[in-house]
A and B are shown apart, each in its own frame.
Chain A
Amino acid sequence: MTRAVMAWVLASVGLWGSCVGAQVPGSAAHGGVAMPQVQAALPNAGAAVVAHPDAPMSVAVKARWDHIAAELRCLVCQNESLASSNAELAVDLRREVRSLIEQGQSDADIRSFLVSRYGDFVLYKPEVKPVTWLLWFGPFALLLGALAVAWRWMRRTPAAPEPLTDTERERVRQLLES
């Protein structure tokens, strides 16, 4: 039994670890959004073939945009993403990010573009670096620790029950005899 439980616990924890560690864009925790196959059509960096900022985005650009815009924060709003805000600065930043996507910059490039200007505050998904290790690995570590404590507690030899006091013993006798 215990081995089965252990195996199951490890399987669940492993599943969790893979979710947290997954770096595949779009597929983790987004219900399997399939990346479109049209990537090759993006122009090279520097070719600067930029569509008019207000024209509808192409499918490829839209897919990349959806993916990254949800991770960016609107700086002047009360906790909204860049994608959903109406503030003027948000509109400007959206335009900028869109043109960076169309120039072929990678997600990491776009993130560093914004972070070098606005700091870590602009990312909704904090980078994994020493100052955020507690954030990213803390819950996982806490889970393992809690499971370990619970397991040890369950395996502990049971404490002998407290001896009954005289009044309690009398009460038991009355109950059993009634």
Chain B
Amino acid sequence: MSAPSVNAPSQRMPRWVFAPLALFLGMVAFLAVGLTRNPQEIPSPLIGRPAPAFQLPVVGGPGVFNAAQFKGQVTLVNLWATWCAGCKDEHPILMALSLQPGLQMLGINYKELQASELSGQDPQSAEALQKATARSQAWLQKNGQPFGVNLLDMDGRVGMDFGVYGLPETYLVDRAGVVRFKHAGALTPEVVQHQLLPLLRSLP
């Protein structure tokens, strides 16, 4: 912080006068980058970690599906519901993906009966399960069934373990049961072409 010489007041500019400008431009740089980002998008902390353990009833079929059954195959997990508009949009892409060799398709029907419909009823009751099963099956019959296995997550706990914050969401889990990829929102051809398929090919 040197003061300029008394006889030449504005000829030598001390460095401190540039500090505000420099700080301002630094901030602007961050703001400019910020314009290219989406503050609502939340990256998944599950990437690179084992998929959550769970056990859920199979839609229409007997018994339950245990997450341990993931192992051995690459699995695409899709969280969806009949009331979700984006799910309908991405459905043709899921149908196409179901033809992909070596890829197991697992659908989790998340909170098929929403809180407003249940109005205080227990989501795990037989009556609720029946209603959800019927709706799920009817929808898939009408629009196509891409899932090798379709499960019911009635109270949303499993979705919460996956870190779901909106529908639809898609995860790719490798043979060892480790989550490799997450996409929030409806799948698009670009995402499938540029992210999903290359990753799939790269997995052993």
Residues of A within 8 A of B (CB): 54, 75-76, 88-89, 91-93, 96, 115-119, 121, 149, 152-153, 156, 159-160, 162-163
Write out the residue numbers on chain A whose beta carbons fall within 8 Å of the beta carbon of B155. 92
Q: List 4 A-B pairs, minimum CB-CB distance, nearest first.
A: A117-B163, A75-B165, A119-B45, A121-B42
B45, A76: Cβ atoms under 8 Å? no
Residues of B within 8 A of A (CB): 1, 3, 6-7, 9, 42-46, 111, 114-115, 120, 155-157, 160-166
A117, B160: Cβ atoms under 8 Å? yes
Contact of A119 among B3, B44, B160, B162 (CB under 8 A): B44
Say how far B98's CB is from chain A's closest CB, in angstroms: 28
Say how far B112's CB is from chain A's closest CB, in angstroms: 13
A162, B162: Cβ atoms under 8 Å? no
A116, B165: Cβ atoms under 8 Å? no
In the complex, 18 of the A-B residue pairs with CB atoms within 8 angstroms, ordered by the A residue number, are A75-B42, A88-B111, A88-B114, A89-B156, A89-B164, A92-B155, A92-B156, A92-B160, A116-B45, A117-B45, A117-B46, A117-B161, A117-B163, A118-B165, A119-B42, A119-B43, A149-B1, A156-B3
Nearest chain-A residue to B162 (Cβ)?
A117
Nearest chain-A residue to B4 (Cβ)?
A159
Interface residues of A: mostly helix, strand, loop or mixed? helix
With A118-B45, A121-B42 known as contacts, the answer to whether A162 contacts B161 (CB < 8 A) is no
Give 14 A-B pairs besides A89-B164, A96-B157 with Cβ atoms closer than 8 angstroms: A88-B114, A89-B165, A92-B156, A93-B160, A96-B160, A117-B160, A117-B161, A117-B163, A118-B163, A119-B43, A121-B42, A149-B1, A153-B1, A159-B3
With A76-B165, A159-B6 known as contacts, the answer to whether A115 contacts B45 (CB < 8 A) is yes
Write out the residue numbers on chain B whose beta carbons fall within 8 Å of the beta carbon of A117. 45-46, 160-163
